[in-house]
Amino acid sequence: MGWLAPTLAVLGLGGVVLALVSGPLERWVPVSEPLVALAVGVLVGPAALGLVRLEQELVDVLLLEGSRVLLAASVMAAALRYPWESLRGLLRPTALLLAVVMPLAALATAASALVLAVPISLALLVGACLAPTDPVLAAAVVNGEPAARTLPHRIRALLTLESGANDGLGVVLVAVLVAVVLPAQGVRHALGLVAWEVGAGVAIGALLGWLAGLGLSHADRHDDVGEGPELVYTLLLAVGVLGVARTAEAAGVLAVFVAGLTYNRFAGSSPRETQDAVDEGVNKYAVLPFVAVLGVVLPWETWVEWGWRAVVFAVLVLLVRRLPFLLALRRPLGLARHQAGFMGFFGPMGISALFYLAHARHEGVDDPALWGAVTLVVAVSVVVFGVSGAPGRKTYARRYGHEGDREQQPVPSG
């Protein structure tokens, strides 16, 4: 643990510097802040300058608990990003994304992982870890004024809802496949635990979100809440729900998302600007030290041993994980072909994948191939979407007429 203090100093102060220069950085070099943070982590880590070294025990704790808290704050922001009235019509396509696209994405990713010559059970676990769309990195693509100006509301809202809600199904996939990799746990036992985690998580989130929404509405009617407390109210709600859910051994991140949606429904007209400010703070800046930690601990030796297999695996995941399924289901999703293509490509993998990886390791799956495969794709995802996010939005707006400036149009018949 001797490296903990210098690690906190380097990564924390590095995040502060990145936050200060993020505006000029976006104007000079159109890359995302997480990509810069990843590069900083690689630079200060053992692969380059060697200023920061992390013991595996500390890395596991940072990834598991750090990603859990970060995801809780992010999915709360996702649940509150749009008014409830604009989300109700998206519930059916979101369910399609979760129940059909996400399992198919897990299978496609697992098939790609076989290139690495890993056992089928481990490949399936890799697919389960990487299948969910990450709410933190997705926010960088669909949130903010540039995205609102260039992208249709339907794309932004669907990616937001999908990335926030997929923790529930992700928990099921990962837990079952951990039981497959570790047969001593038993699949039936794992299914029972997952059923409790998901059911209890939904119940806890709905109850606490409802109470929080009613409480804030009552306080607003009596002018009892100032602007300062209201700014952190939902963050405190996210932390509280996460704590209650973890105490009950329920799915914490799922509980937070359900609480956010329920709060959104019952809280009345909470200022959207407040939520946007919290959203930006969490998804653009709080994530930076975490991504820098990833840069420090990347398993370069494993990737070098895989050689060309690692390259083929990463490319396959980017191409087959989502894109074919979004294009095939564009009509039920209410998307034009180019909109489905955009959503199929921009489905980043990041903090949620690392959370599932850390959870699997915590349960006893410590195979280096799992660590190498998941971190490889997450690192590639941060690089690819960090470079292509802003140019991709601009290209979309240039080719398809700034669809973000108007209401969603009917889907073309062709």
Average pLDDT over residues 37-64: 83
The Cα–Cα gap between 41 and 251 comes to: 30
Residues near 325 by beta carbon (within 8 Å), at least 6 away in sequence: 100, 101, 104, 105, 108, 344
Over residues 274-293, the pLDDT tens digits come to: 556 666 666 667 788 888 88
Over residues 331-350, the pLDDT tens digits come to: 999 888 988 988 888 888 98
Model confidence band, residue 129 (pLDDT cutoffs 50, 70, 90): very high
Predicted structure pTM score:
0.86
Cβ(267)–Cβ(260) under 8 Å? no
pLDDT reading at 406 higher than 50: no
CA-nearest of 335, 342, 333 to 411 is 335
Query: Measuring CA to CA, how many Å separate 137 from each of 66, 98, 126, 316, 338?
Result: 16, 18, 19, 20, 21
Average pLDDT over residues 49-66: 81
Who has greater pLDDT, 62 or 29? 62
Over residues 229-288, the pLDDT tens digits come to: 556 788 889 999 999 999 998 888 899 999 998 998 887 655 555 556 666 666 667 788
Domains located in the chain, CATH noted: 71-401 (1.20.1530.20)
Cβ(414)–Cβ(330) under 8 Å? no
Over residues 205-236, the pLDDT tens digits come to: 999 999 988 887 777 666 655 555 556 788 88
pLDDT value of residue 412: 40
Tokens 């903090």 sit at which residue? 351
pLDDT value of residue 286: 74
pLDDT reading at 109 higher than 80: yes
| Distance in Å from the first CA to the final CA of the chain | 60
Average pLDDT over residues 394-405: 64
Least confident of 26-35, 97-106, 237-246: 26-35
The Cα–Cα gap between 259 and 278 comes to: 16
Helix spans in 267-299 (H): 272-280, 288-297
* Percent of the chain residues past pLDDT 70, beyond the cut: 79
The Cα–Cα gap between 351 and 45 comes to: 19
Model confidence band, residue 58 (pLDDT cutoffs 50, 70, 90): confident
pLDDT value of residue 17: 67
Cβ(259)–Cβ(212) under 8 Å? yes
pLDDT value of residue 221: 66
